[in-house]
Amino acid sequence: MLRSCALLTGLAAALALPAAAQETPKRGGTLQFAISGEPPNYDCHANSSFAAIHWLAPHYSTLLKFDTANYPKILPGVAQSYEVSPDQLTYTFKLRPNVKFHDGSAMTSTDIKATYERLRNPPQGVVSLRQASFEDIAAIETPDPLTVVFKLSKPDASMLANFASPWNCIYSAAKLQQDPNFPKTNILGTGAFKFVEHVKGSHWIGQRFEDYYEQGKPYLDGFRAVLLSGAPMINAMNGGQIMAEFRGFSPAERDRLVQSLGEKVQVQESGWVCKLDILFNTAKKPFDDARVRRALSMAIDRWGGAKNLQRIAFVKEVGGILRPGYEFAASKDELAQYPGFSENIQAAREHAKKLLAEAGVQNLKLTLTNRTVAMPYTPTGLFVIDQWRQIGVQAEHSQLETAPYQASLQSGNYEAALNFACDFMDEPNLQLINYISKDQSSLNYGNYIDRKLDELYEKQKRATSKDERKRLIREFEQHLFKESYTAPVIWWHRYIVHDRRLKGWHITPSHYLGQDLVDVWIAQ
Amino acid sequence: MAATTTGSTLPSRERSALLRFVVEQPLGAAAFVVILVMALAAAFADWIVPYDPEAIDFSAMLAAPSPAHPFGTDAFGRDILTRIIYGARTALSIGLLSSLLGCAAGAVIGVASAYFGGRTDLVVQRFVDILLSFPIIVLALVVVAMLGRRLVLGIDVNLIVAIAIPIVPKVARVIRSAALSIREMPYIDAARAAGYSHARIIFRHMCPNVVAPFLIMLTAFIAQAILLEASLSFLGLGVSEPKPAWGLMLAGNASDFYREAPWMVIFPGLAISLAVFAFNLLGDSLRDWLDPKFRT
């Protein structure tokens, strides 16, 4: 009891945010922090994991960026201002005149054009995971070195947010002309920190860029990121060797640090645009039958699971395909209408058993493919397997390393799998694209074609009123869950514990945002 | 009806050998009893445990040891005693099968290497040297990472192979030295003169004569294999959750909650220690008992 009280007092102290706004940032110091994964290459456009962006973001700039203290407000990046035409078909950006690459060359509209041409239409041998996000760009014009104009073929509600995506690192046109894959193995950006070294399996060093375009920033002299995870990372925090880790801590890790470091650490928490979905491979029997998929989704007690799993894993909220709390997300009442979201789990499981019987499936045995990443994949996988046992379904848990796991999903060599769905912001276009037909989205690993979903996706993308968009999203969600191509489990919840001396870093619902370290400083 | 010996009575020669072992090696006998208890518990786990080892019970999360849960529960409310008993099944099956496979392969390679001698022996032994230069855990890690997982009847066959491979060179080296003297025995010359095939001489005439060192190594390597399986499972490369395995019980949430619920690590740790200790003790006792050099 005493221990619990001490922990609660510690947590309360750690959560009590200091009046950071009143403090004046101080120059100097090197930030040491941990990152728990290594990037497969250095190309922002070709990556989608925190294990890439956390290393790369301090070296690069983007046209616009998110104001992490006031998420989802958008701030200028290398663009000092922008204009959107009334028909939402023309975006005009005025660039800052003093932006330089780390090699001293000036950044101009030519570099922006080259970067976005690479993103929307990558040359042979170049990977752009953001191609679909920019498919509506018809032309990019550069009337002068400090102006860039994007002409769209159709209005796109998410376009401005896409320009603020941390993944759209601006590259040098000259370097891309020499070698379109230059960014894959080299780091040359206009960000706040110059790249110094990367020792694989060990660390990464960045040094303050003296010619950074924002006067007086960054505040840090440099940073040193070390590759650490799990218990060694917690021990390094305890020992003061690192000041933070920016992906997320489990509740138990958070409590351990608060208990041992007390007021020396600060805890920030937020909802998270991340969840685990159960994917069913519709190309394999019996998962080609919607009744089987629906039964497997209905067997899961999401409400009970959320209540209990949040004690041991960084999951918390029950939701549909959009993050609970986000303006377009389904309310609790709306969720209750979907199969698999009933609070009366006994009735739902009886219904699930009937569906399996109707489908002629008895004593179903399947393999649930999962990652070996402990948090939150393992607890969620165990929970799902246990829930399926309640309706007589036996699942073998196959945990694979990231590369074979991804290969299994991409090649369709799985029956059911837990797949992460994380984005840099709440935006229906980003989240819904995971669920449209296989021939429309490379992110669909369920191997299904559903033209109704494709049509609803397009309609909501073009919707000009929020109410209309919301209605279409509900219709999309209703149809998706009726067919149960995928079944969301529980949404993640983000806890960040950092040294209280670390200032200027604000938690957001995405672990991809806010890692440029421009505003971060250390109170000595 | 012909008279038969019932299963509960041993022929007097075997009974006296067993008694002699108990009298001469009391520690070994005690270790044997511990192993026997573990084996019986593993074999009859379905009948003796009150809980399902994989069933999640959130209402009993992190419960301290009590009459209902003598060893407490883990972060998913699963009974730790139940999981330890089922974990014995995993440890003993993987330990025994991988040790048997590694020792059998090592014995055949060692005997064949000694029998053929010359260039064959030279090449085989240099290859053995290379394998011996790798620490056993590193070699197993490499093999398991390369092979991945392949479940047959709920047992990861690749894990067994990964644990068996590092055992092979060690056994091959020891058995070869024992077989070198056997090779020079007159009955081997006689077998050669009779025109028997190499395979027949190796399997019928040499292998049976290295059974004593083979048995000693087998018991010793079961302990190592159990430890290796626990290590690999702890590192996430062995058995997958929710299957009960001792090493796995020490990983995952156990590292998060070992302060609040120390029973989550104490009891699986004790189970590993006890099993390894028992097999090592039995192996030492067998060596002392079977090897004339160790007899006083």
The SS3 assignment for A62 reads coil
Please judge whether B54 and A386 are an interchain contact, meaning their C-beta atoms are less than 8 angstroms apart.
Answer: yes
Q: Which domain holds residue A439?
A: 271-493
Find the CATH number of the domain harbouring A333.
Answer: 3.10.105.10
Residue A51 lies in a domain: no
Residue of A nearest to B54 (CA): A386
- Report CA torsion sign: B207, B213, B218, B224: negative
Measured between beta carbons, which residues in chain B are less than 8 angstroms from residue A383?
56
Please judge whether B56 and A381 are an interchain contact, meaning their C-beta atoms are less than 8 angstroms apart.
Answer: no
Residue of B nearest to A251 (CA): B256
Q: Render B148-195 in DSSP notation, one character per residue.
A: ---EETTEEHHHHHHHHHHHHHHHHHHHHHHHHHHHTSHHHHHHHHTT
B252 touches chain A (CB under 8 A): yes
What is the least distance, in Å, from the CA of A199 to any CA of chain B?
Answer: 22
What pLDDT does residue A5 have?
A: 47
What is the least distance, in Å, from the CA of A318 to any CA of chain B?
Answer: 18
- Amino acid identity, position A288: D
Given a cut of 80, is residue B164 above it in pLDDT?
yes
- 3-state percent helix, strand, coil for chain B, nearest multiple of 5: 75, 0, 25
Residue B182, Cα to own-chain centre: how many angstroms?
A: 27
Residue A125 lies in a domain: no
Q: Which of B150, B240, B250 to mutate to test the interface with A (most CBs of A within 10 A)?
A: B240
What pLDDT does residue A2 have?
A: 41
Q: Which of A4, A229, A382 to mutate to test the interface with B (most CBs of B within 10 A)?
A: A382
Please judge whether B151 and A396 are an interchain contact, meaning their C-beta atoms are less than 8 angstroms apart.
Answer: yes
Please judge whether B76 and A312 are an interchain contact, meaning their C-beta atoms are less than 8 angstroms apart.
Answer: yes
Residue among A250, A382, A398 minimizing CB distance to B242: A382
Residue A435 lies in a domain: yes
What pLDDT does residue B295 have?
A: 52
Q: Which of A372, A375, A378 to mutate to test the interface with B (most CBs of B within 10 A)?
A: A378
Q: How are beta strands A30-35 and A222-227 bridged, if at all?
A: parallel
Q: What is the DSSP letter of A59?
A: G
> For A151, phi and psi rounded to 5 degrees?
-105, 125
> For B63, phi and psi rounded to 5 degrees?
-70, 135
B241 touches chain A (CB under 8 A): yes
Please judge whether A252 and B151 are an interchain contact, meaning their C-beta atoms are less than 8 angstroms apart.
Answer: no
B121 touches chain A (CB under 8 A): no
Residue A82 lies in a domain: no
Residue A262 lies in a domain: no
Residue of A67, A134, A87 lying closest to A433 (CA atoms): A134
Query: Domain tally for chain A?
Result: 1
Measured between alpha carbons, how far is B270 from A116 in angstroms, rounded to an integer? 60
Residue of A nearest to B58 (CA): A308
Q: Give first-to-last CA distance, chain B, whole Å.
A: 47
Domains, chain B: 25-43+77-294 (1.10.3720.10)
Which residue pairs from B233-237 have beta carbons closer than 8 angstroms and sit at least 24 positions apart in sequence? B235/B141, B236/A372, B236/A374, B236/A399, B237/B141, B237/B144, B237/B145
Residue A168 lies in a domain: no
Measured between beta carbons, which residues in chain A are less than 8 angstroms from residue B76?
312, 379, 382, 386
Please judge whether A399 and B236 are an interchain contact, meaning their C-beta atoms are less than 8 angstroms apart.
Answer: yes
Q: Render A400-462 in DSSP notation, one character per residue.
A: E-HHHHHHHHHHT--SEEEEEEE-SS--HHHHHTTTS-TTT-TT--S----HHHHHHHHHHHH
Residue among B61, B145, B252 minimizing CB distance to A374: B252
What is the pLDDT tens value at each position of chain A, 524 positions in all?
444 444 444 555 555 444 445 689 999 999 999 998 888 899 999 988 898 999 999 999 999 999 999 999 999 999 999 999 999 899 999 999 999 999 999 999 999 999 999 999 999 999 898 888 898 999 999 999 999 999 999 988 889 999 999 999 999 999 999 999 999 999 999 999 999 999 998 999 999 999 999 999 999 999 999 999 888 899 999 999 999 999 999 998 999 999 999 999 999 999 999 999 999 999 999 999 999 999 999 999 999 999 999 999 999 999 999 999 999 999 999 999 999 999 999 999 999 999 999 999 989 999 999 988 888 999 999 999 999 999 999 999 988 877 788 889 889 999 999 998 999 999 999 999 999 999 888 788 999 999 999 999 999 988 878 999 999 999 999 999 999 999 999 999 999 999 999 999 999 999 999 999 999 999 97
Q: Which of B54, B239, B253, B258 to mutate to test the interface with A (most CBs of A within 10 A)?
A: B253
- Mapping DSSP onto H, E and C, the string for A256-314 reads HHHHHHHHHEEEEEEEEEEEEEEEECCCCCCCCCHHHHHHHHHCCCHHHHHHHHCCCCC
Measured between alpha carbons, how far is B171 from B168 in angstroms, rounded to an integer? 5
A293: alpha, beta or left? (left if phi > 0; alpha if psi -120 to 50): alpha
Residue of A26, A50, A35 lying closest to A512 (CA atoms): A50
Residue A194 lies in a domain: no
Residue A397 lies in a domain: yes
Measured between beta carbons, which residues in chain B are less than 8 angstroms from residue A250?
256
Give all strands (DSSP E) within chain B, no chain letters.
151-152, 155-156
Measured between beta carbons, which residues in chain A are less than 8 angstroms from residue B242?
382, 385-386, 397
- Determine the average pLDDT of the residues in B240-252: 88
What pLDDT does residue A140 have?
A: 97
Residue of A389, A370, A365 lying closest to A380 (CA atoms): A370
Measured between alpha carbons, how far is A400 from A180 in angstroms, rounded to an integer? 33
B148 touches chain A (CB under 8 A): yes
What pLDDT does residue B100 have?
A: 94
Residue among B56, B58, B241 minimizing CB distance to A378: B241
Measured between beta carbons, which residues in chain B are less than 8 angstroms from residue A379?
75-76, 253
From residue B194, alpha-carbon distances to B116, B179, B185, B201 in Å are: 17, 20, 15, 10
Measured between alpha carbons, how far is A286 from B288 in angstroms, rounded to an integer? 59
